[in-house]
Chains A and B, each alone.
Chain A
Amino acid sequence: MVTRPPAGRSVQGRRRRSRNGSADGSRFFYPALLAPAVVLGLFVIGYPLYLIIDASIRDVGLPNMAALNSAPVTGANFTALGSDPLFRQALWVSLLYTLGGTLPAFLLGLGTALLLNRRFPLRRIFRTLTLLPWAVPSVVCSFLFLWIVNASYGVLNYLLLRAHLITQYVPWLASLRWSIVGVIIPTVWKSYPFFTLLILAALQVIPVELYEAAKVDGARAWATFRRITWPGIQNAAYLALVLQLLWTFREFEIIYPITAGGPANTTQTLAIYLYNEVFQFFHMGYASALGVVTVVICVAIVVAMFPLLRRTLWRS
């Protein structure tokens, strides 16, 4: 039997519990396993965050980013937010886009998950097909729907007209009123499989006996859903909801390639506004302030949903 003395400790008691709970002596094992991930995280998330916060409190443009430390410190970027109508508009657009993109996707995901949980022939094939939009790159979604919602020849307009839901073609992405819907549609299409996946996984863990017992007791569909199904999936549903809300709030790749925030900033979410401020106007300081605001709002979303998430996230 091979005995390996734990690093840096005495030989006795090979099974002594070490401080971080590892069964074996070496208390460097787990931290060592964790180290690469932590290094990556600090290096590539921590440092950029620091850089952004630093830039947001300075008066700095893209050309003089290299001299960041010598740029004057000022709170002007944040006070400018208060008087910026584009900022207020971006907040509103972000709200519409995030809720409009996430809630329908949630309902669609829930519906498809419930459907896929039923037994029927070829169910596996349909499961793969239903999840397929998730595999499509966001950029491809964006120009695919650019074509589908095209004002003159788009198939969406054609089908809606044929179904008598509209009386004339809608210029989805050119209209000030409907452009936000024009970008919400691809977002919902791309997002719903995430809900389907997580909710379906949770549905399949619910014991069949519960449903059988409910049927024997004469429970109707809604009561069954409320008492058996929902409690079983609510952890998954809340987690998926928070993750998708955060994802949609930050989403860039679906909107930018086709509208770049237009027309007239009606699809300019906070994320797009940030991008434009950096790459179109080179206002690094102001863009960083916008970035800080975005992070704060995301954190607020997490904090607001915290009680619902505790059980899922903080399992030990």
Chain B
Amino acid sequence: MSAGVSASTGRVAARRDAAAGTARRFHRSRVARRGYGWLLIAILTTIVLLFPLYWMAVTSVTPITDLLTLHPPIVPALSHLELSNYSATFRTYPVLSWLANSALITVGTVALSLVVSVPAGYALSRMGAGGATSAGLLMLVTRVIPGTLLLIPFFVMFSTLHLLNTLQGLVLADTTIIVPFAAWLLKGFFDSVPRELEQAALVDGCSQWTAFVRVVVPLASPGIGATAIYAVILGWSDYLFSKTLLIDPTHWTITVGAASLISDLTVNWSGLMAMGVISVVPMIIAFVVLEPFLVSGMAAGSVVG
């Protein structure tokens, strides 16, 4: 694997210097060793990547007349901004109902998904080779079916079960989409918890269930956290099933409500962006709070190590 000659220090140093770009030379200086070069790149990258969100926020508070020009104010003067779009949106549409529906569905989806996938992931993990194959297959099977294909069967099944136009029905629908991937993800985490631990618990007199709940689950909590965040994002963002299974506008989720405004507010871009901001802010807050758990969860489980 060695990529070059490393006989004497002098030759290595010379080679290193010769191969060095600016970055290498930077390492000599104290300032650069703290990584300020990378910080600068990170700042620039983030500005570009997050510009759409910035633009959505700025546009939502800029008067529409300022925007319908050939020179939109990229960085607008603060004195020009106004919040009238937000008050108008809340007045005209049942936005608070929509937000409440989304929140309820999201919480329900996370709860139900975890209740179903955590034991399933554990079972798949402990069932040996058969478990590994079925977990992988199960996960992939749900990734090959287009969502649009499920609409009519779901509609038919849910109306038979009287779950149409209900929040519970949607929780069920979202959960079934999430469970296979979540179970597979959790299997990976449970794989990293040694069996000896629950065997020791069994020797000490625990039942299998108690051993599972008291010993194994706490150890896999980073993975459970990561799965929960995944379920939160999917539950809140869902549009396809919400649109199909929820009929009354008062039962809509925020995503369906926001989409319904696209045709309503064709020229009122500021109003539409205000709706966008309203839809996104709760998710952004949740994400900012939960994201550290997501990353540490993914790394800790060495999901793809």
Contacts and interface: CB of A to CB of B under 8 A. Distances in A.
A86 interface: no
A304 interface: no
Contacts of A52: 149, 153
Interface string B137-173: 0111111111111111110110000000000000011
A298 B144 CA distance: 5
Contacts of A239: 304
B304 A65 contact: no
B172 to A, nearest CB: 8
B55 A155 contact: yes
Interface in B194-233: 195, 198-199, 202, 205, 207-209, 212, 233
Contacts of B294: 131, 197
A48 B154 contact: yes
A147 B272 contact: yes
Contacts of A252: 146-148, 240
Given A218-B6, A271-B148, A295-B144, A132 B123 contact: no
Given A29-B208, A123-B42, A316 B126 contact: no
B304 A198 contact: yes
B69 interface: yes
Given A45-B142, A144-B273, A284-B152, A216 B12 contact: yes
A67 interface: no
Contacts of A189: 49, 52
A34 B272 CA distance: 44
B280 interface: yes
A274 B202 contact: no
A10 to B, nearest CB: 18
B109 interface: no
B45 A112 contact: yes
B42 A126 contact: yes
A44 B259 CA distance: 26
Contacts of A121: 34-36, 39
A284 B233 CA distance: 31
B304 A135 contact: no
A24 B259 CA distance: 53
Contacts of B25: none
Interface stretch (A15-23, A70-78, A95-103, A173-181): A15-23
B287 to A, nearest CB: 4
Contacts of A132: 50, 53, 284, 287
Given A24-B202, A44-B173, A153-B68, A120 B39 contact: yes
Nearest to B23: A221
B176 A45 contact: yes
Contacts of A140: 255, 258, 276, 279-280
A243 interface: yes
Interface residues of B, number: 120
Nearest to B13: A218
A195 to B, nearest CB: 12
A295 B140 CA distance: 11
Contacts of B209: 29
A115 B239 CA distance: 33
A281 to B, nearest CB: 13
Contacts of A3: 205
Interface string B44-88: 011001101101100100000001111110100000000000000
A257 to B, nearest CB: 5
A312 B304 contact: yes
Given A115-B41, A205-B302, A298-B144, A126 B46 contact: yes
Interface in A1-25: 1-4, 15, 20-24
B259 A257 contact: yes
A40 B116 contact: yes
B41 to A, nearest CB: 6
Interface string A17-59: 0001111101001110110111011011101110110000000
B284 A148 contact: no
B151 A26 contact: no
B106 to A, nearest CB: 11
A26 B206 CA distance: 13
Nearest to A133: B49
Given A140-B280, A143-B258, A218 B136 contact: no
B10 interface: no
14 contacts: A34-B127, A36-B119, A37-B179, A129-B50, A130-B49, A135-B233, A139-B237, A139-B259, A143-B272, A147-B269, A218-B19, A235-B305, A302-B144, A312-B304
Given A41-B179, A316-B129, 14 more contacts: A29-B123, A34-B120, A41-B142, A44-B176, A120-B35, A130-B46, A133-B52, A137-B239, A140-B255, A155-B72, A201-B304, A219-B4, A298-B145, A315-B132
